[in-house]
Amino acid sequence: MSGDHSATNTLNMAWEATASCFSDNPIASPVVPCPDQSGSSGGKGWTVAEVKTIISKTDPKVIEEICNGKIKIITFDTAYDKWKYDDGREEEDELKGLLGNTIRDKKEIRIRNSMTSQEAASTLFHEMGHMTRKAPSTQEGYLQEEIDVRVETEEFRIRQGMASTAKGYRTPAGKVDRAFIENQIKNSTHYNPKGRKRIGRRYVGEAIPSGWCPP
Ligand SMILES: [Zn+2]
């Protein structure tokens, strides 16, 4: 599930931007543009062939899971969330920072078009981390899952030789800093919805690219 809220915490903007790079945040967590990936709608920056090659280099099992699990991978140009505020007002906001989303029961993963193949690979790896887990039954469970998936994604990025997701995600020794990630997610006001509820989402420019799996 995904969502966000209206509060903008200027003390924590850098993290907010990073935290919002994945769509599957718990309800009422923030989605704001990611500094290095937001931007123009449309324009495909990655290809199925490149993303497959990148993931297969270190984690071929993820591609097998996509194929064996018949996971449907849908691309999109941008997305909008509809919000209802406590005062009754409704508003639709573009999710410029939304990179990916997982709908577990429908076996659907959505990946934004406008990303490099490396970032798309990292996003797909992240979303498959959600897809292959059982849906949590509590809000706390969703938070824990997000922490675990972020840690795994950061480990993937290390295996890939990619830069860290965000400042603080790695220790000076270059290992994943789980405590940092956990602290961020558990203590952030972003994960405590205030003043509005998400009541809908729509995606724009959806397409289903082929080529993930052998025919
Ligand atoms: Zn996630």
Using the mean position of ligand 1's atoms as its centre, give its distance from the Cα of residue 34 in Å: 14
Protein residues within 5 Å, CB atom, of ion ligand 1: 22, 24, 146, 149
pLDDT at position 80 is 94
pLDDT at position 10 is 24
Using the mean position of ligand 1's atoms as its centre, give its distance from the Cα of residue 29 in Å: 11
Tokens 């989303």 belong to 101
Using the mean position of ligand 1's atoms as its centre, give its distance from the Cα of residue 145 in Å: 8
Using the mean position of ligand 1's atoms as its centre, give its distance from the Cα of residue 138 in Å: 15
How big is the CA angle at 181 (ends 82 and 81), to the nearest 5 degrees? 5
Query: Would strands 108-112 and 100-103 be described as parallel, antiparallel, or unpaired?
Result: antiparallel
Each as own residue / partner, the long-range contacts of residues 136-144 (CB below 8 Å, 24 or more positions apart, any chain) are 139/26, 139/27, 142/1, 142/26, 143/26, 143/185, 143/186, 143/191
Q: Per-residue pLDDT tens, the chain, 215 aa: give them.
A: 333 222 222 222 223 333 344 444 433 334 433 434 433 434 568 999 999 999 999 999 999 999 999 999 999 999 999 999 999 999 999 988 889 999 999 999 999 999 999 999 999 999 999 999 999 999 889 999 999 999 999 999 999 999 999 999 999 999 999 999 999 888 765 556 678 888 999 999 999 999 999 88
Strands (E), the chain: 72-76, 78-85, 90-94, 100-103, 108-112, 196-204
Using the mean position of ligand 1's atoms as its centre, give its distance from the Cα of residue 215 in Å: 30
* All residues at 6 or more sequence positions from 49 whose CB lies less than 8 Å from its CB, including other chains: 211
Using the mean position of ligand 1's atoms as its centre, give its distance from the Cα of residue 14 in Å: 17
